[in-house]
Structures are given as C-alpha cells and as structure tokens.
Structure 1
Amino acid sequence: MLQTPTDEHTECPNASEAAAIDAPPTGTTTCRALFFQLCLWCHTPDYRRSFCRVCGSRAFGRERSAGAGGVVRRVGYKPQNTWLVAMDEGFTVVCQVVSAAPVVVAIGARVRIVAPLDRGLPLVELTYRATSSSPRW
C-alpha cells in the first residue's frame, strides 16, 4: 500500500475551524487536515492508493477533505470500534469512532474527522445518529 502523508499542519482559514478540530490556540492558528488523492486524468478521489482504480493512472493531486462523511459498515471487532466511512468528497476510509460506544454507532450516522491519524486510522466522532425509517422486529 502506498504510504503517502495524509496529514499536514496547515493554517486554518479562521479560528472557529481550529476550535472545531480541537487545535490548540496559538499565535498562528494551525490545524491538522485530512488529505486525499485526486486522479489527474479521470478526477476520481481515492485515499492512499498507488494507482487510480478507474483508469490506472499513477498521477495524483492532493486535496484537503472537508472532514465530514457517513458510516457505511462496521470493519473489525467491536472493541476497536472501526467503521468504513464514505466521505462527502467520494472516497472511503476506515476510521475509528471515538467518544461513542459501538452499540450507539449505526449505519448512516454522520461523522466528522477529529484527528486525521492515530495508529494509522483517522479518528472520527458522531455529529448525529442515524434514524431508522421503519421499526425493526
């Protein structure tokens, strides 16, 4: 797997964004951002790939993710609390949900990036829970 750096210390556009990402306030407000790859030929977004899954190109550009997405499915065991998250930009990434029990997380729940990398997995937290349209029994 391609080991490209996916986080950088960048300047946030405003202080409220830094507060939302829990960055420490400093003279120059910095925050950690999640970056993804965008194929320069077909513009397919990917996360940590050595070649494009659509056209096979190896030419990628780096884009900054907004950090919001939806839970698609569980990956791994409950104690790890890892989930496959479809980001709003169109790529999927395996993330670890923090500050929520595995029972609380449901498919369709909206999440946001808290910290891009921790032990190789981005950390996300729930922004709101998924609601079921029909009762399950």
Structure 2
Amino acid sequence: MFIQFGYVTVFSSVYPTAAMWALLDNIIDMRVGSTKYCLAYQRPFGQRAASIGTWQSALEVVSIMSIITNCILISMSDIAARFSPKLHIYERTIVMIIFEHLILALWLGIYYVTPKVPVWVAEERARLEHRRREAVKVGQ
C-alpha cells in the first residue's frame, strides 16, 4: 500500500489515471481478501495500536516529495511551455518553485490545523473512560 501510495502521488502529473488503477486494485484486493477470510480462513484476531507508527512519518515524507516532484515535472512539460510561451525554462522553473513553496505552506497549514485524533474518536474515548471510572466507583 505504501509503494502504491508513492507511485500514485509522486507521478500523478505524468500518469493521472494511476489513481483510478490503484482504486480498482484496492477494490479487487478487498473483495479477494474478504472471500479468502470468509471461505478459507477464520477471522483473524484484531490487535489494538495507538497509531500507525513510523509509517506516518514515511507517508509525510512521500507527500512532500510528491509535491516537489510534481512541480518539477509540470515546469518542464510542454503544457507549461504552452501556457507561458514567453518565459524561458529557467523563469518557468522559478515560477514553479514559488508555486511549490505555496503548496508546501498550504500542506503544512492543513497538517497543523487538522486534529491528530478525529473528534468522534476523542468523544468515544472520553465516553469509555467515563464508563470505566463509574464501574470502578461502583465496585468499591
């Protein structure tokens, strides 16, 4: 999944239909996996985890790399040359670097504004903690 995410995000400007193929692959994979678990194996026991661990940092790095790579690929494409025929390739690259910095600033802003734990998860955790404390009071 991580490699698929990398290919889809890093090269999305070169091959935009990769996202469609990745979605189709994931749908087929879910169907095959569910059939396998229903017919061939027993249901696996779930294991709780606090987060996705190091994969979070790896996904963030790939996201930043994809922003930079896509801006470079777009600045060197024929489409950018058609939109700005009077600009030299160096000038187009400078414009794309500015654009890339704006996108990175937007990414960083969204990263810090978005809560790390969704509201509904925080509410459910608080509800469970309240029930646990009430059960401890009753037991004493």
Check whether TM > 0.5.
Answer: no
Q: Specify the TM-score bucket, using the shorter chain as the normaliser.
A: under 0.3
TM (norm. structure 1) is 0.21
| Rg larger in structure | 2
- RCO higher in structure (CA 8 A, sep ≥6): 2
Higher strand share: 1
